[in-house]
Structure 1
């Protein structure tokens, strides 16, 4: 079962976002993610969170169109996105595309990414999109789709990743090791339309940057305003 989850961060839509929404079995809004849904004309099945980031009239608009409202107290242990992801997985979602979860506050962005290692989410495929790149966790193996020349970075999390074997990448590994805290796995490249990554022990954060996305990022750097 596929789900699309709208978080409350800065929304940068990937080119295929409409296809994602059209193919989704579940659409979930985490608190202020409901605003993104309203702006895009997307109807979520559920709005979940403490709703401190969504004005009451927008909550009412979502309820009027049939969205289920799951309100939580503001004093809670989980973030709204964590609640949304757990709810989607409890409904049977196995693949979750997550939008508007990156950018803005570093603490929130990192906490959102690390939800991919949540014990109750580890059997699901979570893919984070920031409009240019996509990020996901590799815990045993993964097939990476793209085009030759796309950048692929493999970054160990919470310790070294060992027994790494890759195919379809410019700088291959065979039963290799990437220590935590080094940058060796950054900026590899696809040499074929798909690559395979296997890891025997540990976890890898995979970041895929298409060629056109890299060009957009470089252009954005060139257009940055000088300090005043």
Structure 2
């Protein structure tokens, strides 16, 4: 069975991120995300990046506590640290990806990381970006998506391609049937599940599905 890879990047992290880790997961640390894992007692299978956001002593701490470490020049590299981590995980044959710390105060990096969902989708690998308030995934017409209420109150739909056609929602307060969304529309924002689960299907295009809540994740279980 293919393994799930959980990537910790250098954006916003907290106890909620550690609760995403399950037994058997392969842990990957990207730049400061690697330090976060190590400082909380986890051993990354791979730590990689330019490590320009941590000190030399912290880098040595990460090196000693990781199975593998790949360091690159911050100027000459072509990919962001998170892109490097996603690419590496996909090349290892990951069966699923979870990205923690991929969102933060730098919206250039945050938006670039959202676009990484497409890289995983093109390889047929389920991928989620998770933070303390949101869970993001990307879908296309190849398979339906089932969303669960869990700790999230809202489900929003945003096209990541110019147009998404054939959108059908089942189990939602505001249903859609064979609808079309284009970039610039807010029609798909803040829908609500009627029960515990809802189903989303599309015919063509890339649809970003965002589950969200205004309630902060608990600090501890």
Scaled by the length of structure 2, the TM-score of the pair is 0.88
How far 1:120 moved relative to its partner? 7.7
How far 1:122 moved relative to its partner? 4.1
Give the distance between the partners of 2:216 and 2:186, measured in 1 at CA.
23
How far 1:119 moved relative to its partner? 6.9
How far 1:136 moved relative to its partner? 0.9
User: Do the aligned partners of residues 122 and 166 (structure 1) sit closer, same or farther apart at CA in structure 2, a change above 3 Å counting?
Assistant: farther
Give the distance between the partners of 1:119 and 1:67, measured in 2 at CA.
24
Pairing 1:55–2:55 present? yes
Partner of 1:181, secondary structure, is coil
Give the distance between the partners of 1:149 and 1:97, measured in 2 at CA.
17
Q: What does residue 106 of structure 2 align with? A: 105
Q: What does residue 8 of structure 1 align with? A: 10
User: Do the aligned partners of residues 138 and 65 (structure 1) sit closer, same or farther apart at CA in structure 2, a change above 3 Å counting?
Assistant: same
Task: Show CA shifts across 1:85-125 (max 9, x none).
Answer: 11111111121111111121111110111111127854111
* Equivalent residue for 1:196, pick from 196, 199, 214: 199
Pairing 1:162–2:173 present? no
Aligned positions of 1:103-142 closer than 5 A: 103-118=104-119, 122-140=123-141, 141-142=144-145
Give the distance between the partners of 2:21 and 2:83, measured in 1 at CA.
20
How far 1:215 moved relative to its partner? 3.8
How far 1:130 moved relative to its partner? 1.3
Task: Show CA shifts across 1:153-177 (max 9, x none).
Answer: 0011121110111111111111111
Moved over 6 A (4+): none
- Asked if 1 retains the 8 angstrom alpha-carbon contact of 2:6 and 2:21, the reply is yes
* Equivalent residue for 1:179, pick from 155, 159, 182: 182
Give the distance between the partners of 1:58 and 1:103, measured in 2 at CA.
21
Show structure 2 runs of 5+ residues with no match.
none
RMSD after superposition: 2.1
User: Do the aligned partners of residues 154 and 40 (structure 1) sit closer, same or farther apart at CA in structure 2, a change above 3 Å counting?
Assistant: same
Q: What does residue 33 of structure 2 align with? A: 33
Kindly tell me the number of residue pairs found equivalent between the two proteins: 212
Partner of 1:57, secondary structure, is helix
